[in-house]
Amino acid sequence: MSSDDLNKRIAKYLDDHQKDYIQRLSDAVSIPSVSAWPEHRPEVVRMVEWTKSFMETLGITVELADVGEQKLSDGTKLKLPNVILGTYGNDTAKKTVMIYGHLDVQPAQLSDGWDSEPFVLTERDGKLYGRGSTDDKGPVISWLNVIEAYQKLNEPFPVNVKFVLESMEEYGSDGLEDLLKSLKNTFLSGVDYVVISDSYWLGKTKPCLQYGLRGICYFFLDVECSTKDLHSGCFGGTIHEAMTDLIAIMGTLVDNKGHILIDRLYDEVVPLTLEEEELYKPITFDTAAYCSEAGVQSTIQSEKDQILMHRWRYPSLSLHGIQGAFDGCGCKTVIPRHVIGKFSIRIVPNMKISTVEKLVENHVQTIMKERNSPNKVSVKLEHGGDYWIADPNNPQYVAARKATVAVHGIEPDLTREGGSIPITLTFQEQTGKNVLLLPIGASDDGAHSQNEKFDISNYMNGMKVMSVYFQELAKL
């Protein structure tokens, strides 16, 4: 059969089974595998088991790798979820592709402002709403659905596949780096290509391939002022309050232009070259749509190129929250005794995590000295992940471009991702092979946000692209 005929046959099978794929995603979304909530760890484990069973029904050999324990901020330890190592096929005449994905999700509650229950996959206007639908359960299940389609049609699978599916990605991929290093000469050997589908297009209609990611340094800023919470009428005005120090420090981190105010933080950022500037010009990007997707009036930068550069090639600092602060409704006149500020810095080539850590520490100490406060303050790097950049001219990217053109009828843009997939650089280093980011979700999917969704069309076309990509890899 010609490869065109095979593509048509697979595409028809996929289209005919859309309902089954939605049900499968619904089953996965119903498991609230939130890695950031320690009390939900059994749910994360349930998600690992669910995926393992599904993979085994497809004849994939699955091994669960123990990656040790997580140390929680209160000093207690919690077993990390096992990492799934899957092997499908070992034909030495075929290429071997390693697929990475994650089964954990960001926290979500209806009360955050969702229009439907976050862990009940809900279809509205061709979109599947639910936490993890696009990040990253939908894409992970898509890879598996494609394998199933070949089996049901009795078509030989074009490549060997290895899977690494973890469940702590949203918390910095705890334990995974050491595991991959230990597997360098065993499970990882013989891999020809690595592919990850855990990111999003730059717009709603035009596909892209990505060759870069920002890294992340996530900090906990801890301030303690007293042995107990205090009445603000009895003590306000006489003591150094923890929240006042915390907010003062957090207020010195970044200005209203998005510029990070930590001394020397930009020293290691690679300078922009004329050649790099040219890369932004052909990229399709709608700034008005970007604002509307984010639900904001305007962006800090007005030019397309500047917006993209500040997403991809410059660092950014975001404030995420304050643990221990009063956040209920009504008015509580308390002075909290102990608060922990959460913020992160997205890092870019050539920033080093260790340098960022030192600079943040210096900055906090300097501000505290100026404040002359006796409060106990410490800042800790909770987790860090490196930035990553690849060669988009590698044959693997050519294969993915051909697959995209075959399904979408258009050349994908070559872009970078502003988010982080902390383990990506480790895959590149430990396999010595090219890594491709093959996003299938749309820019308005709202990963990490309320009403996260995955468009049915992206789900279906994403599987078709994956299928052709495997065939194109086999031709290399």
Q: Is 420 annotated as a binding residue?
A: yes
- Asked if 176 contacts 183 with a C-beta cutoff of 8 angstroms, the reply is no
Output the six-digit token pair for 213.
């990611």
Residue from 25, 127, 134, 135 that binds Zn ion (CB under 5 A)?
135
Three-state helix/strand/coil letters over 196-252: ECCCECCCCCCCEEEEEECEEEEEEEEEECCCCCEEHHHHCCCCCCHHHHHHHHHCC
State the Cα–Cα distance between residues 433 and 369, nearest whole angstrom: 48
Q: Assess 262 for contact with ligand L7UNP4BN (CB under 6 A).
A: no
Query: Residues 45-74: x/- map of binding to ligand L7UNP4BN (CB under 6 A)?
Result: ------------------------------
Smallest distance from ligand L7UNP4BN to CB 157, Å: 27
Q: Assess 170 for contact with ligand L7UNP4BN (CB under 6 A).
A: yes
With contacts defined by CB under 5 A, name the span among 128-136, 212-220, 236-244, 428-436 that binds Zn ion.
Answer: 128-136
367 three-class SS:
helix
Site residues for ligand L7UNP4BN, 119-158, by CB under 6 A, read 135-136
Closest CA to 450 of 110, 88, 78: 110
- 10 Å CB burial of residue 292 (0-12, 13-18, 19+) is exposed
Q: Assess 198 for contact with ligand L7UNP4BN (CB under 6 A).
A: yes
Distances 456 to 12, 121, 134, 395, 441 between C-alpha atoms, Å:
15, 12, 11, 29, 10
Residue from 21, 187, 193, 218 that binds ligand L7UNP4BN (CB under 6 A)?
218
State the Cα–Cα distance between residues 254 and 86, nearest whole angstrom: 43
Closest CA to 35 of 176, 219, 220: 176
β-sheet bridge partners, residue 101:
165
Q: Quick one: what does residue 190 bind among Zn ion, ligand L7UNP4BN, none, with the CB cut-off 5 to 8 Å set by partner type?
A: none
Q: Which helix (H) or strand (E) holds 427?
A: helix 424-431
Which of 43, 166, 169, 174 is catalytic? The answer is: 169
Q: Assess 212 for contact with ligand L7UNP4BN (CB under 6 A).
A: no
Q: Quick one: what does residue 420 bind among Zn ion, ligand L7UNP4BN, none, with the CB cut-off 5 to 8 Å set by partner type?
A: ligand L7UNP4BN
With contacts defined by CB under 6 A, name the span among 148-156, 281-289, 356-364, 418-426 that binds ligand L7UNP4BN.
Answer: 418-426
Q: Is 27 annotated as a binding residue?
A: no
Query: Of 132 and 207, which has the nearer Cβ to Zn ion?
Result: 132
75: left (phi over 0), alpha (psi -120 to 50) or beta: left
DSSP 373-403: --SEEEEEEEEEE--EE--TTSHHHHHHHHH
Q: Is 186 annotated as a binding residue?
A: no
Q: Assess 198 for contact with Zn ion (CB under 5 A).
A: yes
Smallest distance from ligand L7UNP4BN to CB 107, Å: 11
Q: Is 333 annotated as a binding residue?
A: yes
Q: Assess 114 for contact with ligand L7UNP4BN (CB under 6 A).
A: no
Closest CA to 383 of 418, 342, 419: 342
169 in catalytic set: yes
Query: Of 104 and 241, which has the nearer Cβ to Zn ion?
Result: 104
Q: Assess 172 for contact with ligand L7UNP4BN (CB under 6 A).
A: yes
Q: Assess 419 for contact with ligand L7UNP4BN (CB under 6 A).
A: yes
104 in catalytic set: yes
Cα of first residue to Cα of last residue in the chain, in angstroms, is 19
Catalytic residue ranges: 104, 169
Query: Which residue ranges make up the site for Zn ion (CB under 5 A)?
Result: 135-136, 198
Binding site for ligand L7UNP4BN (CB under 6 A): 135-136, 169-170, 172, 198-199, 216, 218, 385, 419-422, 447
